[in-house]
Chains A and B, each alone.
Chain A
Amino acid sequence: MSDLRHTPLFDLHESLGAKMVPFAGYAMPVQYGLGVMKEHLHCRAKAGLFDVSHMGQVKLVGDGAAAALETLVPVDVVGLAEGRQRYGFFTNDAGGISDDLMLANRGDHIFVVVNAACKAADIGHMRAHLKGVEVVEVTDRALLALQGPAAEAVLAGVNPAVADMAFMDVATVDLNGAECWVSRSGYTGEDGFEISVPNADAVALAKLLLAHDDVEAIGLGARDSLRLEGGLCLYGHDIDAETTPVEAALTWAIQKVRRTGGDRAGGFPGADIILAQIADGADRKRVGLRPEGRAPMREGVLLFDEADAVTPIGQITSGGFGPTVEGPVAMGYVATAHAAKGTVVCGELRGKRLPLTVTALPFTPANFKR
């Protein structure tokens, strides 16, 4: 793993007994001593600290940054108030998703957080297309996520100001003497915060948070099961260059102002295809799936409408065991005719066709502070 990049917390992970694995070019903790199951349950019960420093942090600087970014994402960026954040995605000319991201209005710039595996491509894409905008990759900051019902109390113990933040608020906050860029968000389905902290201050802040009785370090393994139960897409699996936002059931992230009839309708790559699908529907849809019994069904499992059908109607894109649900959970794409809640389909597992039920997402209720 010598050719892998390290986050500023690498030595801390090793000292905490993490099992390190390669992920998107980085050596990252997949689990600590508790193991995936207990880490997952701890995050839902109290609070978990995640190192997500491998993700790309980018500042878009310039008067026209918001309007320019709207040429790449089908999201209302211009209308995003200062101190607020939004989920979005870059689209391609075929209407597919080239990455998903968080974008925030931090006053004098738009702050963007993108996936680790896509960050070089995303930055190149923004530099090529955002004319008159300075695209600055932030490499001197780590990114921590503190997630779970105790996250507010824990972080408010460091600076009480964070308790006043609502879901998707962003603010510059002093934490343990460091200037941190904090958002009230995350990717677990729990309340919590993402904290951009200067590299030099990251270990001290992480140790301070971990010193709280309610906080445990959580690895990528539980991060994956938490986001899956939360019904949240993993780029490269549940969404990719071949899936459109409408197929992916992410139409909610395309505000009315960017849809047909809106003041700034279209104007993003693949707009003709995506707006037509919003009007007319798509042929397939991302849905939640609950396998019957206990056997997990994972990415790649083919789905059929009948036990003896020859042609698949879809495929699982993420699946595993949901520790909070206490059973297997999955997401995947099915033909729209089979996408209604309660529809029973079959998944082929080790040569057997086993039933799954199309289920509302998320599997566990979201616990955000609105």
Chain B
Amino acid sequence: MKFTEEHEWLRIEDDVVVVGITEHAATQLGDIVFVELPEVGTEVVIDDEAVVIESVKAASDILSPLDGEIVEVNEALADNPGLVNEDPLGNGWFFKIKSDDLSKMDEYLDEAAYKALVE
């Protein structure tokens, strides 16, 4: 698993990358009440706004960490956005992206480096 400085996590699963936010980010955002997910089939480039998260406090953007196509989104978040708080690294995932260029993954943080960032 890799991490961005914007508190996203990326996990390679077969030929796609699953993206979510870290427990640290979920805690900082507070209770999440709405998640606006991209449409399946959307082509994104790095730093495109991919997801909007609304917490009880404010709206936050999640930027795409890779170039590629959104191939699946977590439909369960529509009815139960609180999954992001309950299980950010598991059932609270946002989308799966299929990317031809995974080289960017190497630039992201490993778990130890991410932990050092947030501590």
Q: Report the Cα distance A298→B34, complex, angstroms.
A: 13
Inter-chain contact B54/A31, CB cutoff 8 Å:
no
Cβ contact of B57, chosen from A36, A294, A323, cutoff 8 A? A36
Q: Report the Cα distance A228→B68, complex, angstroms.
A: 41
Tell me if A196 is interfacial: C-beta within 8 Å of chain B. no
Number of interface residues of A (CB under 8 A): 16
Tell me if B67 is interfacial: C-beta within 8 Å of chain A. no
Inter-chain contact A37/B31, CB cutoff 8 Å:
yes
Q: Which residues of A contact B59 (CB under 8 A)?
A: 296, 298
Tell me if A295 is interfacial: C-beta within 8 Å of chain B. yes
Inter-chain contact B30/A35, CB cutoff 8 Å:
yes
Cβ contact of B56, chosen from A294, A295, A320, A350, cutoff 8 A? A320
Q: Which residues of A contact B56 (CB under 8 A)?
A: 35-37, 221, 225, 320-321, 323
Q: Report the Cα distance A36→B30, complex, angstroms.
A: 7
Inter-chain contact A295/B31, CB cutoff 8 Å:
no
Q: Report the Cα distance A293→B75, complex, angstroms.
A: 15
* Contacting residues of chain B (19-56) with chain A, CB-CB under 8 angstroms: 30-31, 33-34, 36, 52, 54, 56
**Min C-beta distance of A153 to chain B, whole Å:** 28
Known: A36-B57, A221-B57, A298-B59. A350 touches B30 (CB 8 A): no
* Contacting residues of chain A (282-334) with chain B, CB-CB under 8 angstroms: 294-296, 298, 320-321, 323, 328
Q: Report the Cα distance A323→B56, complex, angstroms.
A: 9
Q: Report the Cα distance A38→B82, complex, angstroms.
A: 12
Across the two chains, which residue of chain A brings its CB closest to B82?
A: A37
Q: Report the Cα distance A120→B52, complex, angstroms.
A: 39
Inter-chain contact B34/A321, CB cutoff 8 Å:
yes
Tell me if B81 is interfacial: C-beta within 8 Å of chain A. yes
Q: Which residues of A contact B36 (CB under 8 A)?
A: 295, 350
Across the two chains, which residue of chain A brings its CB closest to B31?
A: A37
Encode A87-111 as 1/0 by CB contact (under 8 A) with B.
0000000000000000000000000
List the interface of chain A (C-beta within 8 A of B). 31, 35-38, 221, 225, 294-296, 298, 320-321, 323, 328, 350
Known: A37-B31, A295-B34. 11 other contacts (CB 8 A): A31-B30, A35-B31, A36-B30, A38-B31, A221-B56, A294-B34, A294-B78, A295-B36, A298-B59, A323-B56, A328-B33
